[in-house]
Structure 1
């Protein structure tokens, strides 16, 4: 099976796990909720600062992601957490976190953040050896802190603007720049997995497990805030968070 087919199969596996028919309607307020009569303070400013020309699409995708999360993803995550002992769940998270050191290292080098690159390389070497292929996080207790650099940050570091806000299927808040960066990071991850020489079905299972582990480690729950402005708040929080990541 050629590399392109393997990558397509990996994506199909993730899509199968997370699939749910899209719903184009907007979420309804609770029966006793009072519709806002005035614009939220600061909302006009946020709309000017954070470009959102795809708002209609983004809102529908946000709702789709909420329903996929509620009816498909979270039940699978709950089942996963129920059958996995805590130590095994931690080990799996550590393993995938260790794999994530590779794109972090590459992006740190591309941004000439040599201190970050060196610490990331030291973490990877330590956890991959003493930490038994990354299942045990030995690096953090000895002072090698986890870093976070991706290709979206690399593009931002070199002056590429975020572009319009964009909500991606299953992945959630993003921007045109960050979505492009995610494709590059996914390619780097896939190249790393290919080096393991696994069978196709083993690679598909690994991608499935990675998707479940990633969601299990994110405490966010859609519409838990009870705010009628959750979409706007998420947009502002995401875009500001990315600004701060790039500026540091």
Structure 2
């Protein structure tokens, strides 16, 4: 009992600390320069990090090579991606509640329950066959709903493109993840590992699209920034420059 009490107290303090750090990060978000097309005051540093990320992608994933081989057979990779996404569903449900969106919160909760059981830990997706489709969100979107500014565009080592607001959201999501709060080591370590593996395998799944942006563009940094921000604004429903990233730009 004393041990559990100490753990709970530590978690509460950790949540409070992260909330404070997040508030400070958001309050310090860089304002866009008047007339600037993008809020990218750190472009020089961002381009340097982007170049390092591209070099790492070439080394680890064979980026840009036509003869690169998949890490895992496609059915296995898809199954692991599904499991990783299922493990993120409780966080989606929590953020939906924080955004005062009760229907997506309920949908995500039911999806997690169904896919974790009937879907064998999330390998399969029977919830979608029942009409319960994923309602993905994150704390970056929660901050947007709460009125926090987007801040400057950033490129992080390994993680890639983000914004100051979404970086703060990523930090908070890592700490308030319900599964992370309810599990102890080694289970919590396994969960984190599966989520990271899912992100790596998405590089395989969407490899052609990623390669076209990074290796087939005259200015891969500018193209990556444009696509990331437009896709993010589409997710958030921001109307200024929203495009549907899944729409065929050449369709008549």
TM-score (norm 2): 0.69
CA contact (8 A) 2:90 2:179 kept: no
Indicate the residue corresponding to 1:150 in structure 2.
138
Q: Provide the aligned length of Structure 1 versus Structure 2.
A: 200
Indicate the residue corresponding to 1:100 in structure 2.
88
Deviation by residue 1:48-98 (Cα, 9 ceiling, x = unmatched): 1421111110000111111101112448xx66x45x343322221111010
The CA distance in 2 between the partners of 1:204 and 1:116, in whole Å, is: 24
1:223 is the counterpart of 2:214: yes
Query: 1:224 offset after TM fit, Å?
Result: 2.7
Q: Judging changes above 3 Å, is the alpha-carbon distance between structure 1 residues 189 and 215 closer, same or farther for their aligned structure 2 residues? A: farther
Aligned alpha-carbon RMSD (Å):
2.9
Q: Judging changes above 3 Å, is the alpha-carbon distance between structure 1 residues 105 and 46 closer, same or farther for their aligned structure 2 residues? A: farther
TM-score (norm 1): 0.70
Aligned positions of 1:119-134 closer than 5 A:
119-134=107-122
Aligned positions of 1:48-197 closer than 5 A:
48-74=36-62, 81-82=70-71, 84-189=72-177, 191-192=179-180, 195=183, 197=185
The CA distance in 1 between the partners of 2:84 and 2:133, in whole Å, is: 16
CA contact (8 A) 1:193 1:203 kept: no
User: Residue 246 of structure 1: which of 232, 236, 241 is its match?
Assistant: 236
| Structure 2: gaps of 5 or more residues | 1-6, 8-32, 239-252
CA contact (8 A) 1:108 1:149 kept: yes
The CA distance in 2 between the partners of 1:67 and 1:53, in whole Å, is: 23
Indicate the residue corresponding to 2:14 in structure 1.
none
CA contact (8 A) 1:46 1:236 kept: no
Q: Judging changes above 3 Å, is the alpha-carbon distance between structure 1 residues 62 and 180 closer, same or farther for their aligned structure 2 residues? A: same
The CA distance in 2 between the partners of 1:234 and 1:206, in whole Å, is: 26
Q: Judging changes above 3 Å, is the alpha-carbon distance between structure 1 residues 233 and 202 closer, same or farther for their aligned structure 2 residues? A: closer
CA contact (8 A) 1:98 1:124 kept: yes
